[in-house]
């Protein structure tokens, strides 16, 4: 009799118990896959860049004088720089929200060039039309925007002298993201927005810096923050990845929430499966004794029990993956405004597979060793 036949018959002996174990494992991995995908998508993926972001030291939402731009650009280790003013905005209804970035056309396009594709003709029109705006593919598709269309955005941070926060724009181009970058935003000209607003004029939300080749980011960070130390607007310079993590932390510590939920799910599953396996092995004490009398080695019995545990986790993981793929497919579009990059990546699947192997070992080793320690005569007397 082959090991596969033994495992199949053992799992089929009490199909309800096996089905419940598989369902528990599938649910645990479904939670893991969905929440991990949500975390990665919400964070927009890991930013791999040497770019630096300069914000107000007191708080990222507080302004900085635009006059800092020339001083930053004059630093010897800075290859390029740009500036931007950001605001949350809505289109037509409060539910249709997006990001609005007021930037300098030329330098900003170069700053984000490795993440986004912007057509040359769009940049040309952007430089010519004062209230021109370049829309990301995601928001343009959602709202049905086309080139030349006039739109009005209601902003949360830009206010005109009369108190209004409505700004009129003309769509001059559509940008696409590289490697699933977020495109649910609109880029407008800073000079237009700045001239129209009545508060915080001549200020920006942040500066973007590209260090020269061969220059350490830490050296540029120190030079920038030292330059504005003890000024009325002190700065805090970070890598783009650090800035994005801090930005997300303003809303919620997504990573901690995900790990806590996943941790609770897996600890619960570990206890359930381990406890069930102990009872299942105890029920088969006589069978194990018979196998020993028939000459089957301890290694064979140990491997058989571990293989049974691995089979349970393999089937459970397969169901969990199937459910997760289906859920991601249905949730991707409805959640695009919140999670711009909701996708089940190979890295997430590989991580789940590794967890399945570790959990199978953790729940199967103890019952297996407990079984092979029982001598044949004691096992045969067991009732």
State the sign of the Cα–Cα–Cα–Cα dihedral 251, 27, 33, 338: negative
Query: Which two three-digit tokens encode residue 374?
Result: 């029982």
| pLDDT grade for 246, boundaries at 50, 70 and 90 | low
Query: Distances in Å between the alpha carbon of 181 and those of 39, 73, 207?
Result: 15, 27, 20
CA 262 to chain centre: 15
338 contact partners, CB below 8 Å, separation of at least 6: 42
| Dihedral-angle region of residue 146 (phi above 0 means left; psi in -120 to 50 means alpha; beta otherwise) | beta
353 burial type by CB count under 10 A (0-12 exposed, 13-18 middle, 19+ buried): middle
Q: State pLDDT tens for residues 339-373.
A: 656 778 888 899 889 988 988 888 777 777 766 67
> Which residues make beta-bridge pairs with 80?
210
pLDDT score for 111: 87
279 burial type by CB count under 10 A (0-12 exposed, 13-18 middle, 19+ buried): exposed
Residue with tokens 């990001």: 99
pLDDT score for 47: 47
Question: Do residues 140 and 171 touch, judged by C-beta distance below 8 A?
Answer: yes
Beta strands in the chain (DSSP E): 52-56, 64-65, 78-91, 93-103, 116-117, 132-136, 150-155, 166-177, 185-189, 203-204, 206-211, 235-239
3-class secondary structure, 230 = coil
pLDDT score for 50: 76
Distance CA 28, CA 270 (A): 10
> Which residues make beta-bridge pairs with 64?
204
Q: State pLDDT tens for residues 38-88.
A: 777 665 544 455 789 999 999 888 999 999 999 999 999 999 999 999 999
Question: Do residues 8 and 308 touch, judged by C-beta distance below 8 A?
Answer: no
> Which residues make beta-bridge pairs with 81?
209
Distance CA 229, CA 113 (A): 31
**What letter would DSSP give residue 51?**
-
| pLDDT grade for 185, boundaries at 50, 70 and 90 | very high
Q: How many CA atoms lie within 13 A of 125 on its CB side?
A: 18
pLDDT score for 5: 66
Computed over every residue of the chain, the mean pLDDT equals 82
62: phi then psi, degrees, rounded to nearest 5:
-85, 150
pLDDT score for 90: 93
3-class secondary structure, 208 = strand
Question: Do residues 84 and 101 touch, judged by C-beta distance below 8 A?
Answer: yes
């Amino acid at each position: 009799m082959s090991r596969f036949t033994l495992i199949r018959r053992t799992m089929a002996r009490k199909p309800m118990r096996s089905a419940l174990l598989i369902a528990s494992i599938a649910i645990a991995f479904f939670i893991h896959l969905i929440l991990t995908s949500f975390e990665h998508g919400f964070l927009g993926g890991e930013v791999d860049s040497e770019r630096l972001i300069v914000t107000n030291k007191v708080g990222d939402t507080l302004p900085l004088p635009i006059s800092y731009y020339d001083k930053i650009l004059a630093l010897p280790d800075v290859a390029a720089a740009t500036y931007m003013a950001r605001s949350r905005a809505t289109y037509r209804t409060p539910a249709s929200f997006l990001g609005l970035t007021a930037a300098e056309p030329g330098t900003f396009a170069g700053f984000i060039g490795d993440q986004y594709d912007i057509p040359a003709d769009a940049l040309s029109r952007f430089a010519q039309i004062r209230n021109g705006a370049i829309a990301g593919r995601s928001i343009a598709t959602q709202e049905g925007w086309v080139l030349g269309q006039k739109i009005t955005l209601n902003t949360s941070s830009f206010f005109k002298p009369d108190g209004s926060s409505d700004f009129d724009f003309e769509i001059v181009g559509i940008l696409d993201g590289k490697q699933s970058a977020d495109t649910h935003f609109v880029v407008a000209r800073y000079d237009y927005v700045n001239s129209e607003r009545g508060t915080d004029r001549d200020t920006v939300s942040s500066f973007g810096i590209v260090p020269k080749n061969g220059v350490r980011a830490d050296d540029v960070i120190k030079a920038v923050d030292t330059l504005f130390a003890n000024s009325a607007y002190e700065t805090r310079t970070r890598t783009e990845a650090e800035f994005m993590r801090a930005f997300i932390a303003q809303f919620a510590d997504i990573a901690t929430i995900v790990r806590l939920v996943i941790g609770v799910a897996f600890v619960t599953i570990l206890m359930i499966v381990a406890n069930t396996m102990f009872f299942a092995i105890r029920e088969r004490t006589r069978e194990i004794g018979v196998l020993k009398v028939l000459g089957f080695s301890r290694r064979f019995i140990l491997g058989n029990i571990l293989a049974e545990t691995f089979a349970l986790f393999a089937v459970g993981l397969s169901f969990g993956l199937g459910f997760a793929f289906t859920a991601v497919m249905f949730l991707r579009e409805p959640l695009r405004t919140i999670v711009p990059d909701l996708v089940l990546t190979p890295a997430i699947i590989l991580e789940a597979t590794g967890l399945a192997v570790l959990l199978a070992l953790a729940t199967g080793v103890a019952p297996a060793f407990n079984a092979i320690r029982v001598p044949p005569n004691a096992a045969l007397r067991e009732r």
